[in-house]
Structure 1
Amino acid sequence: MAASRTGSKLFGFYRSVPQSCAVFKTSANPLQTLSQWSLPYACCSTVAPSSDLSVQYRHGHPVLALPLPSRQEKCLFHLRPMISTVSDFIHDIQREDPGISTASVLTTDGVRIASTTSLYTLLNKDFQLCINGVVYNVQAAPTESVSSEAVTSVTDMKDMVHMLHTALNLPKHHLIKEMQLQKKLDILKEELMPLEQMKAYLVMRAEHRSSRALWTGLALLSVQGGALAWLTWWVYSWDIMEPVTYFITLSTSMGVYAYYVLTKQDYVYPDAKDRQFLHYFYKGVKKQKFSVERYNALKDELASVEDDLRRLRNPNRLQLPVEQPEPNSHAALP
């Protein structure tokens, strides 16, 4: 009785079905009817997409159809093997789909490839692309590849663009550099002006004192000669003064030898005069607190700026190649 009531209820349910589903009325088995009803839903199950990708060439350029996780659709990426790197490729993928948090390129063995690797090197072999933890096996293009002629052509084109950029921007760069050097030259001259005035004063004072020392030496020698003559012919005889002159000559020789021992230089009058000049000059430097080190540093920097200006103006005015600097000695204090 319970079974018959259940069956009547089921058959009553099918009797309430519209005419479009009248096919269930002719079924004698309700369970068979229910299984037929569930068949369309079984056919709607999804299958995981394939993780195998391949690089293809279209119109001579490599392209890669990559599924994006956020959109659930494939996106075609045009690769530039000559000028792009792995970092540029990953940046393009993340910019196309902001939902991609992690992306990396691996070898077929699972070793991470550096972001500075060029796409030209990457596309020569198969590799793996890991996006948000999903690994895609990417196969390199089997047939078409970038030829050596294309590489040479691209390199020549880059060189030509660089030469054109240099030809267009070099005069402007030279002009800006010349203005900077001229401004620096004016600043150095302003800083050197008081030092030059102080140096000129110290040089004049040292020259005057060294010349006065020479004239003093000449006067002393004249007095010595006059005294010896007076003692020889008016006071004493030559027999008495001869040993005196001998010892005076010996003392002079000992003094010259002592000069060599102390200075490691021969007693030559020009060198002795220069040495006396430097003695008086640095004595005045110490007294006036003149910075010789700063003066020499400014003079060297000024000479360097003037050399740069001279070398920079030659190609601008005469259209000549830039000269190489030559080592030379600049005027600096000893």
Structure 2
Amino acid sequence: MPALRELWRRLPLAAAYQARNVRCRFQLCPGVFYSTQPPSSDVTVQYNHGLPVVTLTLPSRNERCQFTIKPLTTTVGQFLKDIQKEDQGIDRLAAISTDGTKFSSSTLMNVLLKNDFQLLINKSTHNVKPPPIGKGSDNFNSYSPCVSISQDYVYPEVTDRQFLHIFYKKAKVKKFDIEKYNRLKNEFAEDPSLSDISSS
């Protein structure tokens, strides 16, 4: 800028107008969504108690924030909405693959977390490198079997116990004799003549 000021003092008004136009040409266009700076990698993914935790810096408050994700039930759209709820100063937010393809809002997070991707927040692009399956946390090993069988990360014993609790409660209301039912079911399973009927 000192060179432009020096020009301003030495040249007549017409030349000063031209110098001002030169200065305006170097301003950034407000319609550009991607930054020309190299992508930063201040978005991290770690696994805590078997669930992925995405940590990023919110642009308005310049503070770190963590988002815990249930990868088999949370979609990319829900994840991005959660970020926007936390920082309402975010105008543009998208998840983009490394080849530049935008992920749809209905894509499940487990698909997104399988490979590296970019998170576009306003005008800055952040590289995200999720840890490979089986690495990144001791607790991840408890989560990985759920990925291979496509089940949500819940305790089966708890859900079975909850089912039994509700079943016995409703049976009591309907005056259903569970002991008699179990006895008849076992007799049916043991009697060979009745098993022939059930197979036909």
Normalised by the size of structure 1, how large is the TM-score?
0.33
Compute the displacement of 1:65 (Å): 3.2
- After superposition, the Cα gap between the structure-2 partners of 1:53 and 1:166, relative to the gap in structure 1 and judged at 3 Å, is same
Structure showing greater radius of gyration is: 1
CA contact (8 A) 1:86 1:118 kept: yes
How far apart are 1:126 and its partner, in Å? 0.7
Say which structure, 1 or 2, has more relative contact order (CA 8 Å, 6+ apart): 2
Instruction: Say whether residues 1:51 and 2:44 are aligned partners.
Output: no
Q: CA deviation at 1:101?
A: 4.0
Q: Which AA in structure 2 matches 1:159?
A: P
| Aligned counterpart, 2:74 | 84
Partner of 1:171: 168
Determine the structure 1 residue equivalent to 2:34: none
Task: Call closer, same or farther: CA 1:52–1:153 in 2, change over 3 Å.
Answer: closer
- In structure 2, the residue matched to 1:66 is 56
1:50 & 1:104 partners in 2: Cα distance?
14
**SS where residue 136 of structure 1 aligns?**
strand
Q: Is the 8 A contact 2:42 2:57 kept in 1?
A: no
**TM-aligned CA deviation for residue 166 of structure 1:** 0.9
Q: 1:317 to 1:144 in 2, by over 3 A?
A: closer
- Structure 2 unaligned blocks of 5 or more: 1-36, 186-200
CA RMSD across the alignment: 3.9
2-structure distance, mates of 1:85, 1:158: 22
Query: 2:52·2:70 contact (CA, 8 Å) conserved in 1?
Result: yes
The structure 2 residue matched to 1:138, chosen from 128, 137, 145, is: 128
Tell me which of 151, 163, 167 is aligned to 2:144. 151
Structure 1 or 2: larger helix share? 1
Supply the distance in 1 between the matched residues of 2:60 and 2:165 (Cα, whole angstroms): 46
Higher strand share: 2
Structure 2 distance, partners of 1:54, 1:136, is 6
8 Å Cα contact 2:41-2:127 kept in structure 1: yes
State the identity as a percent.
30
Question: Taking structure 1 as reference, are residues 52 and 174 closer, same or farther at Cα in structure 2, changes over 3 Å only?
Answer: same
SS in 1 for 2:163: helix
Equivalent runs, 1:229-268 vs 2, <5 Å:
none
TM-score (norm 2): 0.50
